[in-house]
Amino acid sequence: MTEEVKNKDWYVLRVMGGKEKKTVAFIEKEIERLDLKENVAQILVPTEKIYQIRKGKKVAKERNFFPGYVLIEANLSGEIPHILKNITNVLGFLGATKGGAPVPMRKSEINKILGRVDEMALSEEQVSIPFIVGETIKVIDGPFNSFHAEIEDIDEQKKKLKLMVKIFGRKTPLELNFMQVEKI
């Protein structure tokens, strides 16, 4: 084979929603089977980790930035676009006119997306705050276990709640973290 320079661009593949990861596996298998590794550099499903609190436990969940899309860095020469389009769950290339050639992404666009993916990998855990001031919640930990309390204030940095608990008819202030309470 001749030593030719193969410049790869980023393209966006439209895929069946909710099947992005499975589609990437299909693409990788097909690339391996047809020995096209030198034409396809990487395949990416941009995701971010979201932390939510459910039943007092912190639950990590991955969410796609772009549901229904997969990014692929490749040199789309010869049969490669045709091979990719015929993989299970792939609907086609984004930006391509019907039957036309796939359009590569602009460098600025891909840099923004890749930068955001790296940023998410490095960023601290982000907990989506499921509570609002004025809401009544149930204490599930500590000496006030099973008491109902009203949220007075939320400290997002420290992940703490300032609460008012009624004990023997008197309101008592209390400070607990997000994990020690649950929604009613």
Domains along the chain?
9-122 (3.30.70.940), 136-183 (2.30.30.30)
Q: Measuring CA to CA, which residue among 88, 100, 84, 112 is closest to residue 13?
A: 84
Report the distance separating Cα 70 and Cα 88, nearest Å. Answer: 13
Nearest residue to 182 via CA among 55, 11, 8, 59: 55
- Predicted confidence (pLDDT) per residue in 85-140, tens digit: 999 999 988 875 666 678 898 888 888 888 877 776 666 555 567 788 999 999 99
Please give the Cα distance from 158 to 123 (Å, whole number).
16
Calculate ∠ Cα 96-10-102, nearest 5°: 15
pTM higher than 0.85 for the full model?
no
What's the chain's Rg over C-alpha atoms?
A: 25
In tens, the pLDDT along 44-93 reads: 998 877 776 676 677 777 888 889 999 999 998 888 999 999 999 999 88
